[in-house]
A and B are shown apart, each in its own frame.
Chain A
Amino acid sequence: MKIIVCIKQVPDTTEVKINKETNTLIREGVASVINPFDLYAIEEGLRLREAHGGTVTVLSMGPMQVIDSLREALSMGADEAVLLSDRAFAGADTLATAYTLSKGIEKIGSYDLIICGKQAIDGDTAQVGPELAEMLEIPHVTYVRRIHEIAGGQITVERMTEEGSEKIRFPLPGLITVVKEINEPRLPSIKGKMRAKKAEIPVWSAGDLGTDPEKTGLKGSPTWVTKVFTPEQKGGGEIFEGEVGEQVAKLVRMLRETKIV
């Protein structure tokens, strides 16, 4: 099986702090990490390779520093990594990102399964996976929490829904996006780290991919951000005083006012 895992580098939220005066994120000096959902995607790729044979290729689009995240994926056990990096790709929205990734995947060549994370934690859009599948004209299923079976050129997966889940079968090649429940990502091994350090990671530019300049980066992005602002922060609320009995009585009185109780 030939598996491609798409990963994005994002700022590490455990380190993100809020500037109390301006109510904005302080991201200066904040480390970058692999998008948490993408770790599950990598792990699932590795498990499928262990069960069915084949290779796992990790793919990312972003600035040169993303090489570090790709090395981390290699140290977890991925076979190959590719970075798509070019000034022309900057400022891409999900459509332009999906287009660029699709050109990268075409250049990689054949594949059976593409795995993406459920969403990236910086933009939270969850759109790149389905858009990418559509551009490659392959079927996709989102929010996969379990792969039941791969057999006869078909994959059977379980999609998480609001009420429970759905079991869906579809033909390969295809794309899935995965949620946290699907597995427990492994840590990089020492051997993996050594291998990753030495690995050659090709960096493909717009020229290498033959991307249409009208479809990449800011230019290829139909959506524009026109304004960014901080939401009104709630001031600290009211803490009920007194004994437990008094506290809950106050709370219930308040709930009654809102007609909940």
Chain B
Amino acid sequence: MSIRVIEDKCIGCRLCVKVCPLGAITVVDKKARIDLDKCDLCGACVTACEKFQAIEIIREKEAAGDLDSYQGVWVFAEQKEGMVAGVTLELLGEGRKLADQLGTTLSTVLLGSGMDQAAQELIAHGADRVYLADSPQLADFLEDPYAEVLTELCREHKPAILLMGATTIGRSLAPKLAARLRTGLTADCTGLAIDGETKNLLQTRPAFGGNLMATIICPNHRPQMATVRPRVFPPAKRDENRTGEVVRLDYSARQLLQRAELLEVLKEAGTTINLAEANIIVAGGRGLCDQKNFALIQELADLLGGAVGASRAVVDAGWIPYAHQVGQTGKTVCPKIYIACGIHGAVQHLVGMQSSELIIAINKNPEAPIFKVADYGIVGDVLEVIPALIKEIKKARGEA
């Protein structure tokens, strides 16, 4: 399996050189030359060379297994303390569309304890079938027992597609399951579609820190697995009259593999730190000048019902715990509104938040790169702007 330049077709236009994320292509004597030690066969150059068709990736035909025996779209239903995660409802909405397009059914797999009501909710949100493994052993997520149940179900019922949320749970369970089923897994997708011709799942995700998007397929293995970023898709609409089937699996009498033990669940008190699920994030940076001013960020976030984010600079300074850090070494977020206060907008910060729907930046330096990604900007001192903003919001709500 390899990549090659078809020299007769190559005119040395350098389009491929420009798009190669790995700097693996040079043009020598008006012909593109690919350094195979640098190339990781991502295909960016093939796409760029659409006009000349001078670069091709050569794949040996693989004996695809009996792919047609895999049918149906599955969504793993994530729950904590019996509450179904927001991302699960989003996946049901998206899964429904995929299933309808493929003319197949949408099933969910729900693991937990005392989940009857939740199972009905999944049906109301679009599931045709719920595989329900209800047992005290499965009340809390742990990799081993959850993977065991899912492996068995996948081997028996052979879904064509299996989606999970790109959450702490999903991003630990999905790769474990994929390795066991020896199938492909695409991380943190932001787009899903069906290829009209091949019926393959087209999985689109940000790569290289969100500066490039890649569409990935898993043509010869099933199930096609993806974790999907929370908050990208709208939640499925609830329809009380929908009906569906609940398939109960009895694990109560069986000992599931359980090497790890959950000793304690610690919740961070006071502040909302679930940045991935937040609609609004108010984030503060070093422009707040002092730790005590960070309270302004919290106040604005509370007022808007949002979560608090931070740049690495202030996390490193110890103003706020790491759980709040947004960016390359922190969390990737995409809320409806991201308000960056006194944040410069270094590329490592931008990669974590640039896909937010609406970005508002407050910074006293008009040249700050954060303004390049902002939809709305205020050039000014955060210590003046935020209190004024808080006042204005209260006024608008008739509270002051």
Contacts and interface: CB of A to CB of B under 8 A. Distances in A.
User: Do A and B actually bind?
Assistant: yes
Interface of A: 13-14, 16, 18-19, 22, 24-25, 27-30, 36-37, 63-64, 87, 90-91, 93-95, 98, 121-135, 139-143, 145, 156, 158-171, 179-181, 217-219, 221-231, 234, 236-240, 244-245, 247-249, 251-252, 254-256, 258, 260-261
A150 to B, nearest CB: 14
Given A91-B1, A163-B268, A228-B44, A244 B219 contact: no
Given A240-B377, A244-B380, A18 B41 contact: no
Given A25-B208, A238-B375, A218 B41 contact: yes
A28 B23 contact: yes
B41 A90 contact: yes
For chain B, which range describes its interface: under 10, 10 to 19, 20 to 34, or 35 or more residues? 35 or more
23 contacts: A13-B328, A63-B38, A93-B184, A127-B187, A130-B176, A132-B179, A140-B172, A143-B172, A181-B321, A219-B1, A222-B221, A224-B59, A224-B216, A225-B41, A226-B216, A227-B214, A228-B19, A228-B21, A237-B374, A237-B375, A240-B377, A248-B389, A252-B393
Nearest to B188: A124
B263 A168 contact: yes
B137 to A, nearest CB: 16
B385 A248 contact: yes
Given A30-B23, A163-B268, 12 more contacts: A13-B348, A63-B38, A98-B179, A121-B209, A124-B188, A125-B187, A131-B178, A222-B220, A227-B214, A237-B376, A244-B385, A245-B388
A248 B277 contact: no
B1 A217 contact: yes
A240 B217 contact: no
B47 interface: yes
Most chain B C-beta atoms within 10 Å of own C-beta, residue among A30, A141, A248: A248
Contacts of A124: 187-188, 206-207, 209, 332
Nearest to A236: B372
B47 A228 contact: yes
Interface in B171-221: 171-172, 174-176, 178-180, 182-188, 202, 206-221
B11 to A, nearest CB: 18
A145 B168 CA distance: 13
B396 A134 contact: no
Contacts of A168: 142, 260-263
Interface of B: 1, 18-23, 36-44, 47, 59-60, 80, 142-144, 147, 167-168, 171-172, 174-176, 178-180, 182-188, 202, 206-221, 259-268, 273-277, 280, 304, 321-323, 325, 328-330, 332, 336-337, 347-348, 351, 355, 358-360, 366, 371-380, 384-385, 388-389, 391-393, 396-397
Contact of B21 (A25, A125, A240): A25
Nearest to A63: B37
B18 A163 contact: no
Contacts of A260: 280, 304, 336-337
Contacts of A25: 21, 208, 211-212
Given A63-B38, A222-B221, A260-B280, A95 B214 contact: no
A228 B207 contact: yes
A135 B22 CA distance: 29
Given A90-B40, A252-B392, A164 B265 contact: yes
Contacts of A258: 337, 358
Contacts of A181: 321-323
Contacts of B267: 163-164
A55 B88 CA distance: 43
